[in-house]
């Protein structure tokens, strides 16, 4: 059944994220940083293997021996300009922040009935103290310490900001890692074309283990990336169904090579070398096959 591969992938990320969150509290901060660094190195390895598609024979025959590198370069430049104008990176972070706020409100509403109003507690304390105090002896001051209304405490505000940043970083990073790789594109297209879900099944296993490591470092933001997987891979599956085998190997090779360079940017982010705005470069994945088609038409 078409779409089964994407469903399997979403389930693996959700399960892996849950396991990672449970284990994350038991791991030291240094251990979580080492895990993230390891994922960054592996991401660079996968990126190198994907970028090697620029040497694919089908691409060289279609556009010439020297054109593939120029096609990838042009795809990144054009895609980066389009993505920055559309502010894709900011929109991805905005989605992550909105999801984090929604989950936080839901958690607060679930925990609300279990907690007694602090003002009511203070009032009850003063009432009880007034009943039992001796005549002529002032009641002890049980009122809560003065705090400006509507202003969060500095420590609480810092923790909330840090938690939101971790959620957003986990959502954006996991979304990019899970959705930029060649298996995402090839597997989803293969699923849509009715050629089976073997590639997406392999990707699901890899993403499940990666989600454990990511969630141990970033928390529930990684689980939210399942929504991105559903949208991206579901859309690619629909495109594959519509294309029906129309996309040539040369176009797929250019797209895969471009995706490999985007993964390099993801690896640099994970290693904390540079915050490459990979989200703004995502349109390059659409530009690459279009440039190949343009070159083939001109030739």
* Predicted confidence (pLDDT) per residue in 235-246, tens digit: 989 988 887 667
Say if 233 falls within a structural domain.
Answer: yes
SS3 for 110?
Answer: helix
Domain count across the chain: 1
Say if 240 falls within a structural domain.
Answer: yes
Query: Which residues touch 182 (CB under 8 Å, ≥6 apart)?
Result: 50, 53, 256, 259, 260
Distance CA 37, CA 41 (A): 6
Looking at the chain, the whole-number percentage of residues with pLDDT higher than 70 is 76
Say if 134 falls within a structural domain.
Answer: no
Say if 130 falls within a structural domain.
Answer: no
Say if 152 falls within a structural domain.
Answer: no
**How confident is the model over 88-133, as pLDDT tens digits?**
888 877 876 776 677 656 555 655 544 444 434 344 444 444 444 4
Say if 200 falls within a structural domain.
Answer: yes
In the predicted structure, residue 291 carries a pLDDT above the cut 80: yes
pLDDT at 103: 61
Section 65-74 average pLDDT: 92
Say if 259 falls within a structural domain.
Answer: yes
Average pLDDT value over all residues in the chain: 78
Range of the domain at 240: 4-110+158-298
Question: Other CB atoms closer than 10 Å to residue 185's CB: what's the count?
Answer: 25
For Cα atoms 6, 12, 15, give the angle at the middle one, nearest 5 degrees. Answer: 140
Say if 64 falls within a structural domain.
Answer: yes
Distance CA 32, CA 266 (A): 18
Distance CA 79, CA 47 (A): 18
């Amino acid at each position: 059944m078409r779409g089964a591969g994407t469903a399997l992938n979403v389930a693996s990320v959700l399960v892996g994220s849950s396991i990672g969150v449970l284990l994350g509290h038991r791991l030291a901060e240094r251990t979580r940083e080492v895990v993230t660094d390891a994922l960054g190195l592996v991401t660079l390895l996968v990126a190198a293997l994907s970028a090697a598609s620029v040497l694919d024979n089908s691409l060289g025959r279609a556009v010439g021996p020297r054109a593939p590198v120029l096609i990838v370069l042009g795809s990144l430049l054009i895609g980066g300009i389009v993505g920055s104008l559309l502010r894709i990176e900011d929109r991805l972070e905005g989605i992550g922040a909105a999801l984090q706020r929604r989950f936080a409100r839901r958690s607060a509403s679930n925990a609300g009935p279990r907690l007694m109003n602090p003002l009511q507690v203070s009032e009850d304390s003063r009432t009880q103290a007034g009943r039992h105090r001796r005549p002529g002896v002032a009641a002890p001051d049980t009122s809560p310490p003065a705090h400006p209304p509507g202003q969060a405490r500095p420590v609480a505000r810092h923790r909330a900001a840090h938690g939101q940043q971790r959620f957003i970083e986990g959502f954006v990073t996991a979304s990019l890692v899970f959705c930029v790789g060649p298996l995402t594109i090839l597997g989803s297209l293969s699923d849509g074309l009715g050629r089976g879900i073997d590639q997406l099944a392999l990707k699901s296993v890899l993403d499940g283990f990666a989600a454990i490591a990511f969630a141990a470092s970033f928390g529930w933001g990684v689980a939210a990336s399942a929504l991105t997987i559903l949208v991206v891979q579901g859309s690619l599956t629909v495109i594959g169904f519509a294309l029906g085998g129309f996309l040539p190997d040369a176009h797929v090779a250019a797209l895969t090579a471009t995706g490999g360079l985007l993964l390099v940017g993801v690896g640099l982010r994970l290693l904390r070398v540079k915050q490459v705005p990979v989200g703004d470069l995502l349109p390059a994945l659409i530009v690459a096959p279009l440039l190949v088609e343009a070159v083939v038409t001109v030739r």
